[in-house]
Chains A and B, each alone.
Chain A
């Protein structure tokens, strides 16, 4: 009953003309961003975040979330038409989607990707709506030790699934913690790691790091090559985009599989849509009677991963909104956005800001419908975006990045920091250091330190408080176990296989 009342209120918020407009802008931008290879949702959200500071928070979060899940829809287009994933979550879609397009079935491949995304995306929102409130209620009993343990577990999971080398992923997370420490310590007023720079006393802005590490580094990496990929022809007319009844029948299990796997993996910190789509594809292949044909243009091979990467969005918002723990780079940026607007995601977020939470949930239902409409008949139009020359696109991304950073503080120093973090992000890519743990370390660093210091204040300096309370004990044990996984041959082989294929 509480949920229905909340949802009705949410629709009242989401259906306000301004919020409907922001929802549309978000899903439209998301689709375009998803289509464009080399520009992912974290980079786009980071770039646009500063421009939302003067917006109504409800409209702003609705738009940013729209970019997040809209990109998942758009990502399949380049996978199918160019064999180049528009974003990492659509890598698996290349396997069968591109083969379908080469056989002249690009239309049904694009159509089933949109339908699977809609079905699973809607199931993901349903999951968020049903699961988030009870989790938030449960988390009300958490105190500092539990929060420290939870953040440690979240960071450990991200480290586990972020890259081939656990050592490098851990080092990236530690660099994130260090960047989070720069500035004035709020407990004692001591300035830390400020290098005598006045500008660093207030810390390093999250937006500067996120835009540098994601957007700038992405452009620098893409600038390495001069050549552009070839686009296969896009079928015109809705009729040519609709899958047949047999196609839909073949995808029955893929819809369920994608929805469930996507949501569960999304709710797990560190899971992310790439892992979700890979797992869902693997499961689909394992249970399919024609598993040997996977990779040659099987329609379920498109439906399952596309469904999973959309359902993952709903799952990923559960720990973010109910516990204040982001599970990926994109949700870390959404966390920063909520904090910048003056909200504190956590157990009290839903009871204190019901209009915002339920408005977001309702807008996601609406956004998924908008995306289905946008992505079925208008796919040929969106594909034209791919004809935009990269020499026009990349300067635009660089320009928006610089304007975004400058608009936060009006500081030239922040622009210099942007250059530093852009170079750092590029070097990390070249040297195989994953960027997600760094961003998570930065997003969680201040909270982790606060929770740890408050825990030790509670216990008068005894570290045993972290392992003497049942919930924190379980979570810290899990975090340690997670980091030990690479030592177990079979489990590590599974992890590496998942990362390689993802």
Chain B
């Protein structure tokens, strides 16, 4: 990632981690720290929560002190491709319950081949059917590894 982007990324990731550190400290404070039999469930989380808060504060402060450096702009096309893939993957997981693994995975593959790599629709359909069928035969049939089943029974 380029300079300017990284700096703002450092800042926001630092803020997110500081919030996580604070949450850990607050949660750990509700559990026993030291009991008659030794350290309680709050002991270890409290210490790494404090360390997380301190380190993320260091990241934020050092970032602010360096100031904003103009760097190359974020490559939205690249990010868009990665996030689109992630979103398609999440949708296919959500479809496991109604459609089952085989159909959902075929749809995911079709999307990646046809939309992300802009291959002909026939190629995309062929790859999608072959890979989904291959998964069914190898995992479900040959290896007896269970695949999520949909309302159609596969």
Q: Which residues of A contact B55 (CB under 8 A)?
A: 167, 170-171, 174
Q: Which residues of chain A (153-197) have a CB below 8 Å from chain B?
A: 167-168, 170-171, 174-175, 177-178, 181, 185, 187-188, 190, 192-193
Interface string of B85-102 (1 = CB under 8 A from A): 110011001001100010
Q: Which residues of chain A (239-288) have a CB below 8 Å from chain B?
A: none
For chain B, the count of residues having a C-beta within 8 Å of the partner chain is 61
Q: Are B116 and A391 in contact (CB under 8 A)?
A: yes
Q: Are B44 and A452 in contact (CB under 8 A)?
A: yes
Interface string of B122-147 (1 = CB under 8 A from A): 00000100010001000100010111
* Residue of chain A at shortest CB distance from B14: A171
Q: Which residues of B contact A416 (CB under 8 A)?
A: 93
Q: Are B1 and A431 in contact (CB under 8 A)?
A: yes
* Residue of chain B at shortest CB distance from A459: B38
For B82, give its contact among A389, A407, A426, A432 (CB under 8 Å).
A426
Q: Are B41 and A461 in contact (CB under 8 A)?
A: no
Q: Which residues of B contact A174 (CB under 8 A)?
A: 21, 48, 51-52, 55
Give Cα distance in the complex from A389 to B109, angstroms.
13
Interface string of B107-128 (1 = CB under 8 A from A): 0110011001111000000010
Q: Are A406 and B147 in contact (CB under 8 A)?
A: yes
Q: Are A449 and B127 in contact (CB under 8 A)?
A: no
20 chain-A/chain-B pairs, Cβ below 8 angstroms: A167-B58, A170-B55, A175-B20, A178-B24, A178-B48, A185-B41, A192-B41, A389-B117, A391-B116, A391-B117, A392-B127, A394-B112, A399-B105, A407-B145, A415-B96, A431-B6, A432-B9, A433-B13, A454-B38, A456-B38
A290 within 8 A of B: no
How far does the Cβ of B41 sit from chain A's closest Cβ, in whole Å? 4
Q: Say yes or no: A171-B116 contact (C-beta < 8 A), given A190-B41, A224-B79.
A: no
How far does the Cβ of A375 sit from chain B's closest Cβ, in whole Å? 26
Give Cα distance in the complex from A223 to B52, angstroms.
32
A369 within 8 A of B: no
Give Cα distance in the complex from A224 to B118, angstroms.
14
How far does the Cβ of A401 sit from chain B's closest Cβ, in whole Å? 9
Q: Are A412 and B38 in contact (CB under 8 A)?
A: no
